[in-house]
Amino acid sequence: MARLIRTEKEIEGRYEEVWIVVEEDALDQWPAGPLEIVGKPAPRMDGYERARGEAVYTADLELPGMLHTAVLRSPHPHARVRSIDLSKALAAPGVHAAIGPNDIPQLVDECCYQGHAVAAVCADTYATARAALSLIEIDWDVREPLLDPNEAVARRSFLSDPRVRERGDADKGLAAADVIVEGEFRTQVVLHNSMETHQAVVQWFGDGIDVYISTQAIWAVRDRVAEQLGVAADKVRVVCNYMGGGFGSKNGPDDYTFIAAELAKRTGRPVKCALTRREENLAVGNRNATIQRLTVGAKSDGTLTALLGEYVNAVGWGGWMAPTDGPMHSLYACANVRSTLYGAKLNLPPMKAFRAPGFVEGTFGLESLLDELAAKLGIDPLELRRINHADHDAEDDRPFSSKNLLECYRRAEPHWERRHEVRARSTETVKRGVGMASQVWYGGGGPPSYAWVRVGSDGRANVVTAMQDIGTGTRTAMAMIAAEELGIPLDHVTVSLGDSSRGPHATMSAGSSTTPSVGPAVRAAAADARRQIEEIAEQRGTPDAPLAEVVALLEDAQILGTGARGPNPTGMQVLTFGVQVAEVAVDIETGEIWVERVAAIHDVGRVINPLGARSQIEGGIIQGIGHTLSEERLHDPKTGTILTTTLDAYRLPTIADVPEIVSELVDEPDTHLTNLGSKGLGEPPIVPTAAAIANAIRDATGADVRSLPISREEMLRALREAESRKSGEQRGAPAAV
Amino acid sequence: MVELVVNGGRYELDAPVGTSLAEALRERIGLTGTKLACGEGHCGACTVLVDGKPALSCITLAHRLDGREVTTIEGLRDHPMVAAFVRADALQCGFCTPGQIVSAVALVEASPEPGADEIRHRMAGNICRCGTYPKIEEAIRTWQG
Amino acid sequence: MKLNLGNQGNSVELRRPSSLADADGGLALAGGTEVIPLLRSGILRADTLVDVRGVIPRGISGTEIGGGATLAELEVDPQIPDVLREACRLAASPQLRNMGTLAGNLLQSTRCWYWRLKWPCRLHGGDECFAHDGEHREHAIFANDFCASAHPSDVAAALLALDATVKTTSRTFPIGELYRVPTEDDRNITTLGEGELILSVEVPECDASIYLKAMDRKRWSFPIVGVAAVRRGSDTRVALAGVAPVPWLHDGGDPTPLPRNAYKVEILDALVRRATAAL
């Protein structure tokens, strides 16, 4: 039965209080451990069409009469368009329409970052459209850009008000400390670089509109398109059957969708607007840079007495303030915590969510600082973390719905024990070491999400839910859940998704929420269908007959089940946990770093598909390695122009950069969370990787690396610093005696 | 006019000089299994075989391929490497996967049982942002089933 | 994402000459891995492209290597010196090594982002080196006063260390003379004349050789520092990639790093020490 409740909704650490209608979750959870299908490895069900190149991505879509768009983007980080003349571009052969500043809100004449969209042209081919861009006459008034985050804070150029969070009394806590460690940590701008660039194909039908788009959030696209274009939401059909990666950058329609919509309206033709790789690396988001000034105080027994942080998120011109302060408030039991978070507004491209935004950066700072503290206290880093384990959510004084971090630590022990043997393999020039870091993140999902299940007389089931599979394998997970509940083979289940007009609402694929949000709805729908089938069996007097036998009677009749995601447990904090142990080798003469092995143990409740789960862990760690060692968006320090928009200059990891990865999941259902007990796994694995590697480097070399990426330059700088500290200590030693 | 031999079939296209092989395949012949992700020769998503060797179709001019054999993912759909990738879960979003498989097929045709170092050396030109690399390595090690 | 040449709109002619005598009169195209992207981004312009693949020698005979040999062919060739084979093996990506030729590799352009993004820098004929006061962590530490771009060719460093001889359509000369540091009066980094094509490279034998490369990824990266070392008898000759606007003969001259690339000197010293020790 539907019920109206007021609840907290969380997406990637952003909470809002909302009134929502939920349906009670009437099903008991399955018993823990692998079942018939759920909990056993299954290859992804759309693997063949993707691998064989049959899957049609938005990039592959070619509609009859479709036109192609090129977008004129500001080459300047800060400039005003004094005048613009589109007439020559419009007159060029093959060009069908051109739009400029203020024709739609996404095209502007006050450009505040490089890549800000100014004008757009559509033509028979992309080449024609792009050539026409050079015919646009534009007079720029170039202005001074604001690029330095510290200067932005001093000038109070903020995206939103600074956020102060405090529990206990951090000053008193610091005064009570036996040992205090401080450090300034920096993280760089990282670019999502989904392999399929952002793009959409838009076509009008009367007063309705079809949007084919590479997106993580078809419902968010639907609602925002409807709102801006003044179209009834159900007349906006958003389709995304396959998409080539998002990682947080494809949670909305963006400029290209509205550009295509306007051009499609003007031309009466379907219009594609696809970004180039270079545009992709300017205009559709990034993981923002951060500066973190951190202080930790502890008793000599390791008990934390205070954690303090001043965080500057260099968000660029737009976006939001990702919770870089989050790990400091949620990872440890420390009674006294105070943080200030600034969102520095700069003339640089706007940030967007990127796989555990804020927590990746904040964990690097906090967990590095913890290891510096462990060294100072002479306490084993793993032991220090156990000492400060949070048994309940200290921030809100709430119990966790489930938490198996101590179990993760226990399972990490054999990996952690390897450090003696690993260190022993060091040579004169290549030093080896082991480091660890803990992970905390959201991932509980929440309502609303719905699913339908249709069972036919052939004993097959079709799951319909308008979610999207962004490559994480959630399509397969949904099929597994339905097959398990119905008691039919996995290959008897198909899943229809990715179409807002052909299924009920489902969550966006963000915040590690798809499986924990949609999965329970799918199970509820399958259970609803199964109940009906059991009723028919009962009426036939064969209550124990198998499903196939019962539905064989149906002919063209179908059994339709519906299901909804129930509410999250009241008064409980739902989080995911884990730990990673990294082994590295560092060439202390050349600064070269090899990540040789990463062991990852995560606690995300019940695991639906262990094969897909391992892939998520590996993928997160590998993205984390890029973040830690090789990836960095650079801009010219004077002009703010981005220098690394191509993939020769912006260095994503290749297969040659990958370590041995050992992954393990605790696989204990969260007994308080829905009918599944599952949490999400998309984001957790990237959270601790940078800190674990940095701590391993410190273990190997004694050098404090406090800035990402740990390039050769940073590694050699840290080694020099450690060397001079050591020689300083040696010189100082006699005086201290 | 340009004449291409793709997956054993002959195609005559009226395309201007400068047309890339990727563009010819995707937009003229309709073989969209070959993906474009960077368009500048940096990522490997557009990899096809030219005379059996992996090449980047985005920076290859179609007009230079007279008399050469082009093989795309569509020509390798029944190769055991495809099943090996699916079995090992060596794909996530799948956008780079056709290019990965094309490179992997060329690798095992030349060296049926490659070691880890050889796989890493020969596959380093195919970027996968989802990070399926460990599974790709597994797929190539186990491609014969 | 459709791809056309930069001068789209004009018609481009592609000539495929059957003899060297007909190969003149346009922009030469061998592997195309550098020329095609540069045409698209408008850094190079051409009305006529000349496909020289059919007319440039590509075989190896004795110590002479055809300019049309691909890096992929060379990386597995047991006849050539270790330094050259390793430089080919560690260059670019597998696909680029399949496509790219020896001669083309020697003539590749810098990876300087200012140059690639068409800033009006000195190498493009302008009057400023933007890297000097800008982002220059990957830039030159030698001969960087006028232009701080770094030459990325691993292969050129190997051949310079080997003291190879280059044969072109008009002359034969030591590879060191192929390159020139750009100056106010002449912004070119090679001495090739109009229409002059590299035909082959003569690689003299050596007693031992090695190539060591520092890069940002384990594969598919341009050199931060590449060190090629060749020993003949008691003489060791060292040449470097990624440290100067041209492949650089390491003759003991002091580097002049910029504020943010002094770390390259440390790497250079370590790799030179290791390379010479290994010989």
Is it the case that residue A241 has pLDDT exceeding 90? yes
Q: Give chain A's mean pLDDT.
A: 96
A243, A183 contact by CB (below 8 A): no
Residues B11 and B29 sit within 8 Å (Cβ to Cβ): yes
What is the C-alpha separation between A385 and A410, in angstroms, rounded? 12
Residue C144 dihedral angles phi and psi, to the nearest 5°: -105, 15
Average pLDDT of A644-669? Answer: 98
Residue of B nearest to A621 (CA): B131
A140-144: average pLDDT: 98
Calculate how close chain B gets to C237, using CA atoms only, in Å: 28
| pLDDT band at residue A674 under the 50/70/90 scheme | very high
Q: What is the pLDDT of residues B8-29, one digit of tens each?
A: 999 999 999 999 999 999 999 9
Find the helix packing angle between B80-88 and B133-141, rounded to 10°.
130
Percentage of the residues of chain A whose pLDDT score is greater than 90: 94
Residue A634 — very low, low, confident or very high, per pLDDT cuts 50/70/90? very high
Per-residue pLDDT reduced to its tens digit, C78-120: 999 999 999 999 999 999 999 999 999 999 999 999 999 999 9
Q: How far apart (Å, rounded) are the C-alpha atoms in residues B61 and B51?
A: 15
First to last CA, chain A: 76
Rg of chain B over Cα atoms, rounded to whole angstroms, equals 15
A48 burial (CB, 10 Å; 0-12 / 13-18 / 19+) is middle
B82 touches chain A (CB under 8 A): yes
Cβ–Cβ of B20/C94 closer than 8 Å? no
The answer to whether A615 contacts B135, with C-beta atoms less than 8 Å apart, is yes
ipTM over 0.90: yes
pLDDT in tens, A494-513: 999 999 999 999 999 998 99
pLDDT given for residue A732 in this prediction: 59
Instruction: Tell me the mean pLDDT in the region C59-68.
Output: 95
Mean pLDDT of A181-192: 98
> Between chains, do A713 and C4 touch, taking CB under 8 Å as contact?
no
Q: How confident is the model at residue A387 (pLDDT cuts 50, 70, 90)?
A: very high
Q: Under DSSP, is residue A663 helix (H, G, I), strand (E, B) or coil?
A: strand
Q: Find out whether A278 and A125 touch, Cβ atoms under 8 Å.
A: no
Cis peptide upstream of residue A669 (ω within 30 degrees of 0): no
Q: Cα separation of A469 and A480, whole Å?
A: 14
pLDDT of residue A197: 98
Say if residue A75 is preceded by a cis peptide, omega within 30 of 0. Answer: no
Contact, A660 vs A395, CB < 8 A? no
* Alpha-carbon gap, residue A726 to A730, rounded angstroms: 6
Q: Contact at 8 Å (CB) between A481 and A189?
A: no
- For the segment A513-529, the average pLDDT, to the nearest whole number, is 97
Distance CA C101, CA C103 (A): 5
Q: What is the mean pLDDT of residues B58-72?
A: 95
Mean pLDDT for the stretch of residues A440-447: 95
Q: Check pLDDT > 90 for residue A272.
A: yes
Q: What share of chain C in percent tops pLDDT 70?
A: 96
Collect all residues of chain A within an 8 Å Cβ-Cβ radius of residue B85: 47, 51
Q: Which position has the token pair 């093959």?
A: A94
Dihedral sign, Cα of residue A296, residue A301, residue A302, residue A303: negative
Q: State what percent of residues in chain B have pLDDT above 70.
A: 100
In chain A, pLDDT over 70 holds for what percent of residues? 98
CB contact under 8 A, C267 and A634: no
Residue A385 main-chain phi, psi, to 5 deg: -75, -35
- The kind and range of the H/E element at A527 are helix A514-540
DSSP C2: -
| Chain B closest-CA separation from residue C233 CA (Å) | 33
* DSSP 8-state secondary structure symbol assigned to residue B28: I
Distance from CA of B26 to the nearest CA of A (A): 8
Contacts of C26 in chain B (CB under 8 A): none
Distance CA A490, CA A609 (A): 12
Residue C10 pLDDT:
57
Q: Is the pLDDT of residue A402 over 90?
A: yes
Tell me, what amino acid is at A395?
E
Ranges of beta strands (E only) in chain B are 2-6, 9-13, 47-50, 53-56, 69-71
Determine which of A19-23, A473-477, A654-658 has the lowest per-residue pLDDT on average: A19-23
Cis peptide before A448 (omega within 30 of 0): yes
Q: Which of B40, B43, B56, B92 to mutate to test the interface with A (most CBs of A within 10 A)?
A: B92
Least confident segment among A414-423, C1-10, C19-28: C1-10
Which chain C residue lies closest to B56 (C-alpha atoms)? Answer: C95
| Nearest partner of A343 among A323, A308, A314, A363, judged by Cα | A314
Starting from the edge strand earliest in sequence, which strands make up the sheet with C208-214, in order?
C208-214, C225-232, C235-241, C248-249
Can you give the pLDDT at residue A26? Answer: 83
- Closest-CA distance, B66 to chain A, in angstroms, reads 24
C274 to chain A: nearest residue by CA? A589
**In angstroms, what CA-CA distances link A589 with A328, C30, C211?**
35, 39, 17
> Which of A163, A496, A477, A512 is closest to A338 using CA atoms?
A163
Instruction: Using DSSP bridges, classify how beta strands A236-239 and A271-274 pair: parallel, antiparallel or unpaired.
Output: unpaired
Name which of A369, A324, A394 is nearest A163 in CA terms.
Answer: A324
Confidence of residue A736 (pLDDT cuts 50, 70, 90): very low
Task: Check pLDDT > 80 for residue C6.
Answer: no
Digit-coded pLDDT (tens) for A9-68: 776 666 777 787 777 788 999 999 999 999 999 999 999 999 999 999 999 999 999 999
Q: H/E/C letters for each residue in A435-452?
A: EEEEEEECCCCCCCCEEE
**With an 8 Å Cβ cutoff, are A276 and B96 in contact?**
no
- A neighbours by CB contacts (3+ pairs under 8 Å): B, C
Residue A236's pLDDT is what? Answer: 98
Task: List CB contacts of A283: < 8 A, sequence separation 6 or more.
Answer: A73, A115, A116, A117, A254, A255, A275, A349
Tokens coding A50: 């993707």
Nearest CA in chain B to A55: B33
Q: What is the pLDDT of residue C119?
A: 98
Edge-to-edge strand order for the sheet containing A110-111? A110-111, A79-85, A137-142
Least confident of A429-438, A613-622, C17-26, C248-257: C17-26
pLDDT above 90 for B142: yes
Model's pTM, two decimal places?
0.97
Q: Report the sign of the C-alpha dihedral through residues A297, A301, A302, A305, in that order.
A: negative
C3/A305 Cα distance (integer angstroms): 60
List the beta bridge partners of residue A138. A84
pLDDT, tens only, A285-335: 999 999 999 999 999 999 999 999 999 999 999 999 999 999 999 999 999
* Sign of CA pseudo-dihedral A384, A388, A391, A395: negative
The 10s digit of each residue's pLDDT in A107-120 is: 999 999 999 999 99
User: Which residue is listed with tokens 């170092």?
Assistant: B117
Contact flag C4-B18 (C-beta cutoff 8 Å) = yes
Q: What confidence tier does A133 reach under pLDDT thresholds 50, 70, 90? A: very high
Q: What was the pLDDT predicted at C1?
A: 35
Which pairing describes strands A117-123 and A95-99: parallel, antiparallel, or unpaired? antiparallel
Q: Answer yes or no: is pLDDT of A608 > 80.
A: yes
E strand or H helix at A310, and its extent? strand A304-316
- Given a cut of 60, whether residue A735 has pLDDT beyond it is no
